Amino acid sequence: MKGAEAIGEAAIRAGASAYFCYPITPQTEVAEYLAKRMPQVGGVFLQGESEVAVANMLFGAAATGKRVFTSTSSPGFSLMAEAMSYIAGAELPVVFINVMRCGPGLGGVLAAQGDYWQATRNSGHGDYRCPVLAPCSVQEAAELTVQAFDLAEKYRNPVILLADGMIGQMMEPVSLDSLTPGVPSEKPWATTGCRGRDPNIIKSLYLDPHVLEKMNLRLSAKYRRMVDEEVQVELYNQRDRLDLLVVAYGTMARICKTAIDILGEEGLHLALVRPISLFPFPAAAVHAAARHATRVVTVELSQGQMVEDVDLALRELGPSEFFGRSGGVVPTPDEVAGAFRRLAKGACQ
């Protein structure tokens, strides 16, 4: 299955009942798939007039308690930032899928990881955070899509699936039967008409500073709980002594694994820490692995964004080296292996 289609189908299996979208490469296939599929399962498919409108439609639809989502790519994700802030402020569960392309501006349609900051910090204004999940295969994209819906509901918060153009376009076998979505929870807060209860109001305006600060404190406690409970990370090829520790996510992490294998045959010991959750960032795992390594390198399809989180995680062990390609240029495993070889050997001298 194509990555984009697997994401669409996984969302349906997760119980998504509405999808709003605006076409943008490289993920329009999600929309094309769901335009056919949503009506088959009695769900809502709607192409909005802009990503601004789409993200605000999600607010309305999520307010009724349904599982709802969208998919877009970088320039569209920027336009959704406004509504994301309101959705975070009003504490609604919504899944946003950003299949990153390269930028800034219109940039290009090829794979990149330049939206790391935008996703893991705040795309919109104000004091909020969103869980960010980054798949490295089509299977994982399907699995994390399902998880994203459960997480969104668990925390009543937007959740971002951050994929890159390679994941969206790649064809790989997928097992959809292994997907196990959680049971949708009761939503006494939903605006479904006030029969038999007091009216529900879903809002983000608090004019009294003390009331709003209380709200901010409650939200930040929620974000801390995410940090405690939602870290996901893959460790590849860990050993006690490493010539080089690599930190990479998404498609870039797959290329790094191949490069690590190439160098393994040359007798160099490299390992990979692959953050699956970008927020919360697996800082403890990075630090623990780095204690066995003489050097650490962060590899990204950007000019260096996650590397700042890696450096924060490394603390006294840092800073990390950086290797990145951008603009839609995806390095080959040999090119990456070459860079690793230089770093690993440099560390030995």
Interface with another protein (CB under 8 A): 17-18, 20, 44, 46, 48-50, 52-54, 56-64, 66, 68, 82-83, 86, 90, 191-196, 199-205
- Distance from C-alpha of 82 to C-alpha of 316, rounded to nearest angstrom: 37
- Distance from C-alpha of 287 to C-alpha of 243, rounded to nearest angstrom: 15
Least spacing, CB of residue 108 vs another protein, in Å: 27
Indicate the DSSP class of residue 181.
P
- Of 133, 171, 342, the C-alpha closest to 250 is 133
Strand 277-279 and strand 132-133: the pairing is antiparallel
3 state DSSP class of 206:
coil
- Tokens 């709980």 locate to 225
The residue among 25 and 192 lying less far from another protein, judged by its C-beta, is 192
The residue among 20 and 116 lying less far from another protein, judged by its C-beta, is 20
- State the burial class of residue 150 (Cβ atoms within 10 Å of its Cβ: 0-12, 13-18, 19+): buried
The residue among 82 and 127 lying less far from another protein, judged by its C-beta, is 82
Least spacing, CB of residue 295 vs another protein, in Å: 47
Residues with Cβ < 8 Å from 209, sequence gap 6 or more?
Answer: none
- Distance from C-alpha of 78 to C-alpha of 4, rounded to nearest angstrom: 20
Least spacing, CB of residue 196 vs another protein, in Å: 8
Least spacing, CB of residue 95 vs another protein, in Å: 14
The residue among 125 and 342 lying less far from another protein, judged by its C-beta, is 125
Least spacing, CB of residue 124 vs another protein, in Å: 10
The residue among 46 and 231 lying less far from another protein, judged by its C-beta, is 46
